[in-house]
Amino acid sequence: MNNASLADGPLTVADENSRIAEWVLQAQAGNETAFHRLVDLHQAEIFRMIYYRTRSHMDAEDLTQDVFLRAFRHIRRLASPELFRSWLYRIAINRVRDHHRQNRIKSFIGLVSMDDDNFHETEEMAVAPIASQTLDQQDFWKRVRQLLTQLSRMEREVFLLRFFDQLSIKEIGTAMGKNENTVKTHLYRALHKVKAADDTEGLWEGI
């Protein structure tokens, strides 16, 4: 399989996964161009994921760069190329946690007050979940902050990874080092609490 044929025309999910796996294998063999392609493909979503949790453009840029540096250094340790994306998220989750510990700050996934008036959506936060279509952006983010106060730290993380970062249950489990049943349990609890706390009819319909 060559890169040129995969790059021409629309790709199916299987084609995309095959292309990523091929680039991972090439990167593991020392091909820096292949790794740069992986960076180009995943950088925006990793930045968004980190930005949600740090609320700092500068910190998100620095941590995103560090995530990919660590991935480059340790990519040979990745036994299954098809797990690259969830492996990358696992590195990002750990770096965000390290960042909060090192700086002794309250975070979006920790003890931060969701009533913080300084928290607001910016362009860097990218696309919100499908529920944002039912409310204007300002009201949506205010409501999200309120709803997330109902969740435990683990429930918040699973909820964000699923509906904000768009990871599958399997990818979340790999990223967090938890089995899929544990992820499903926390996600079920999170959705139950969110729907019970929500007073806007239909906000989370279909989730």
Write down the mean pLDDT value for the chain. 76
Helices (H) and strands (E) in the chain, counts: 9, 0
What is the Cα–Cα distance from 182 to 85, expressed in whole angstroms? 20
What pLDDT, in 10s, does the model give residues 139-154?
A: 666 777 778 888 898 9
Give the start-to-end residue ranges of the domains of the chain. Answer: 1-109, 127-207
What pLDDT score does 87 carry? 94
Whole-model pTM? 0.63
Pick the CATH number of 1-109 from 1.10.287.70, 2.40.33.20, 1.10.1740.10, 3.40.50.880: 1.10.1740.10
**Residue-by-residue DSSP string for 120-182:** ---GGG-PPPGGGGGS-HHHHHHHHHHHHTTS-HHHHHHHHHHHTS---HHHHHHHHT--HHH
- CATH number at 127-207: 1.10.10.10
CA 193 remoteness from chain centre: 21
What is the Cα–Cα distance from 117 to 85, expressed in whole angstroms? 34
Can you tell me which residue has the tokens 């926390």? 186
What pLDDT, in 10s, does the model give residues 32-65?
A: 999 999 999 999 999 999 998 888 899 999 999 9
